[in-house]
Structure 1
Amino acid sequence: MVFYFVSTAVQPSCALFMGEEKHENEELIKWGWPEDVWFHVDKLSSAHVYIRLNKGQVIDDIPAAILEDAAQLCKANSIQGNKMNNIDVVYTLWSNLKKTPGMEVGQVGFHKEKDVRKIRVEKRINEIVNRLNKTKVEKKPDLRFEREQRDCAERDDKKRLLKEQKEREREEEKRKKDEAELRSYDRLLKQTNMKTNKDDDGNDSDDFM
């Protein structure tokens, strides 16, 4: 089961989601999207919370209010972290998550530690947690299918963009060719006019008896 939440801290609203337990977390790790940003309480057990960026967005584009919502959701869903003040929540892009064969179910590492960010959570803010929990929806999605559909759409977009680029290149090539032919035709006309004027000596007249 995957839990979905809606953050209205910004407009337009933002979706957050997390696995019910470690097996769902494992599936989310396996079938995550390149646009997904992963959140977890640092050095403590907690839920794996995700947000999904829009295309073209980067991790630094995430509004502070959304970071706070995701961090509060992590803290509220951490047995130890929920009881503590001044904890850190780490977050990074899904693509930076590293899974090795020896790791336990739901456990992850990082490819690059420098790409991991932190946000300090001083205390639980019930107003935020309650607001998010009111939007909570339970679903059992086919994560693999959703990822495959996403990848298929991306390939179609790349094909479309490549086709449009080639079409622009053909049009540009045709434009340059037409311009070259026009310049060549203009030169021919000028040369013809110059020859006609030179050959005409002005004595072209008939003699009458």
Structure 2
Amino acid sequence: MILRERFHVDKMSSAHVYLRMHKGQTIDDISEGVLEDCAQLVKANSIQGNKVNNIDVVYTPWANLKKTPSMDVGQVGFHNSKMVRTVRVEKRLNDVVNRLNRTKVERKPDLKAEREAVNAVERAERKQQLRDKKRREEMERLEKERQAELRSYKGLMVAENMTSNKQIASASKSLQELEEDFM
């Protein structure tokens, strides 16, 4: 699953920056440099935030955003406030903003196709995990059956392993020799 973090100037109108995270990364794995870049972008693209210093930029996982019908356009809340982080931006750093603007690439992705591709990969992973689990369970079941077979007497009391009195009498050994072998 691809995680997305959302950045926004706290308590002011501003642009939103969404950061795609690699699989396995968490909100706490974001490097200081990337945090600074995202915070500077949000500040630079905020009408109010761009004019003042010492602003807070809040960021949280996209899934933590909460939108209710009673909220204004652009306004969101959070499901869990413990998942919200804040970074302080002292002032706009033009060299950072200019560097980001120079390297900016605009694309119009097919979001539906990307979502379907991600879903297909996740389904394949779940199927593989399920197959692995079933294979492990089958191996465990077979091992339990094998252990139960080893502990049982079924294999010992088989007709071909048994000797009848007639077979003993017809054998070349005497009864006394057989008793000695037994002892």
User: Under TM normalisation by the shorter chain, which class is it?
Assistant: 0.7 to 0.9
> What do the CA deviations read for 1:3-28 (whole angstroms, capped 9, x no partner)?
xxxxxxxxxxxxxxxxxxxxxxxxxx
Assess if the C-alpha contact under 8 Å between 2:2 and 2:23 holds in 1.
Answer: no
Q: Distance in 2 between matches of 1:173 and 1:97?
A: 45
In the TM superposition, residue 34 of structure 1 has moved relative to its aligned partner by 6.1
RMSD: 2.7
Of 156, 178, 182 in structure 2, the residue corresponding to residue 200 of structure 1 is: 178
2:171 equivalent in structure 1:
none
Q: Distance in 2 between matches of 1:202 and 1:160?
A: 61
- Segments of structure 1 that go 5 or more residues without pairing to the other structure are 1-32, 193-198, 204-209
* Greater strand fraction, Structure 1 or Structure 2: 1
Structure 1 residue runs of 4+, over 6 Å off? none
Of 56, 67, 70 in structure 2, the residue corresponding to residue 88 of structure 1 is: 56
**TM-score (norm. length: structure 2):** 0.76
For residues 167-178 of structure 1, the aligned pairs below 5 Å read 167-178=135-146
Q: Distance in 2 between matches of 1:103 and 1:139?
A: 30
Of 58, 79, 90 in structure 1, the residue corresponding to residue 47 of structure 2 is: 79
1:68 equivalent in structure 2:
36
1:166 equivalent in structure 2:
134
> What do the CA deviations read for 1:108-136 (whole angstroms, capped 9, x no partner)?
22222232110001111223222222221
DSSP-derived class of the 1:83 partner: coil
In the TM superposition, residue 156 of structure 1 has moved relative to its aligned partner by 2.5
Assess if the C-alpha contact under 8 Å between 2:57 and 2:88 holds in 1.
Answer: yes
Matched, 1:49 2:17: yes
For residues 179-190 of structure 1, the aligned pairs below 5 Å read 179-184=147-152, 188=156
* Paired-residue identity, %: 60
> What do the CA deviations read for 1:148-199 (whole angstroms, capped 9, x no partner)?
33233222221221111111111222223223334547x949xx8xxxxxx8
- Segments of structure 2 that go 5 or more residues without pairing to the other structure are 162-176
Question: Do the aligned partners of residues 103 and 149 (structure 1) sit closer, same or farther apart at CA in structure 2, a change above 3 Å counting?
Answer: farther
The structure with more radius of gyration: 2
Query: Aligned pair count?
Result: 163
**TM-score (norm. length: structure 1):** 0.67
Assess if the C-alpha contact under 8 Å between 2:2 and 2:22 holds in 1.
Answer: no
Q: Distance in 1 between matches of 2:34 and 2:148?
A: 56
> What do the CA deviations read for 1:50-84 (whole angstroms, capped 9, x no partner)?
11122222211212221111111111111221222
